[in-house]
Structure formats: C-alpha cells, structure tokens
Structure 1
Amino acid sequence: MECVSTASFSVSLNGSLYGFFKGMRGIRQGDPMSPLLFVICLEYFSRLLKVRTSGPNFNFHPQCASLGITHLAYADDLMLFSRGDKFSIEILVTALKDFGDVSGLRVNHDKSNIFLGGVMGFE
C-alpha cells in the first residue's frame, strides 16, 4: 500500500482540464471561510482569557476594570489590556502561548507592538 504524499490539482473549464497546482495546507487571505474560522478561533481564545484572568493574580487595566475588558478583536487585529504588573502580563503572554500551541497560530513579532503607560521599573 502506498500513501499519497503530494497532491496536484487542475481546473476543469468547459470539459477541458487546465494547469496543475500543488495542494497546500491552510487558508488564503480573501477566502470566504477565513473570517468564520477566525471568529471560531477567537471565541476559543476569548474563553481561555476569561478563565485565565478570573484568578486573583490578574489586574485589569484601570480604564477596563469596571467592564472586565481584557481584549478587543477587529478583523485580524487583537488588542490585549491589563495593568502593567509582571503577573498580569505573564498571564496574557502564557495565554497567547497556550493558544498558539493548540491552534498553530503564532504572533507575528514584526507586526506587533506593546505599549506601556505609567509603568516604572519594568524588566
């Protein structure tokens, strides 16, 4: 028995086959399924953050505490909010790492920023 290790596809147009292209994993940007999958993944991440930030070591950002906001997502952007203390940031970073381990998604550090306001002695 042999295992198919490489698959190639062609397009049938008016009964004739045209071209070959290799099959690849993943979804291309612009695929109509892509936004739905993004929402499903973010739902898991939202629930993960809710569990992780419900403990006593997490401190909400002062402007977000009354509403319990830890994150906002729009299109393919994600903003995380917390107080700038070591434990709160570690909780968010660990949640991101664990989410990446489960989903295979990773933070693009070249396109990411961190903003800290009013934090003294941060290491």
Structure 2
Amino acid sequence: MASILCVAGCARQAHWYGIESAAVAPDGRTITATIVVGAPGSDGKSCREVTDTDVAESADEVVIGIEVRNNCEPIFPWEKAPMQKGMGYPLNVQLHLTKPLAGRRLVDRANHRELS
C-alpha cells in the first residue's frame, strides 16, 4: 500500500515555469526565454533542471513553455527540504521556431501571458 501511495504523491514533479522575458533573434526563429530560479549552490550546480520545452505554433500566435524540476526537493513528503537561497537567478533557455515569429503573438504557456 505504501508503494502505491508513494507513486501517487512522491518524487520530484516538474512544473511549467512562468517566463520573465523573451528575446527574438534577428533570424526571427530563435527565442531566448528567461526564467528566474534560485541561485546555484557553492558547487556551481543549480537545484533546478529544465526537463522539457514546448513550442506550439499557429498562424496568429506562438505559445512557448519551459518545464523545470527542483532536484533539491525531497522525494518523500516526510523528508525536510534543504534550505535554499532566494529566487532571482536568471536562467536562459533557447527555443526554436519552424517559421519566423513575423508579427505573431508570443505567449507563455504557464500563465497565458503575452510576452513582448
């Protein structure tokens, strides 16, 4: 029974992060999206790992997303999470479009906010 409960509620879950900003390269097909995560530890490694990206293109908009998992989060609910430094460290992720953005709206998958 415990293993069934653990499958349903344990392990580190990835989440779609809100994108703080997005810059379109001169080619119109490369987007550098910035999310904000906690600062890396003294070893230079971040607790946050990008697990997936998503680009959904239509005639009038492009929806982009960045999925992130916190690898420092405890696996089991009874474990205590380690102390983490505050948020504020930018993490840039490049996304590639099949066609140039060319006037289409750019939208964040996590919160459906239009990115400028």
TM-score between the two structures when normalised by the length of structure 1: 0.24
Of structures 1 and 2, the one with the larger relative CO (CA 8 A, separation 6+) is 2
Larger proportion of helix: 1
Which structure's residues are more often strand, by fraction?
Answer: 2
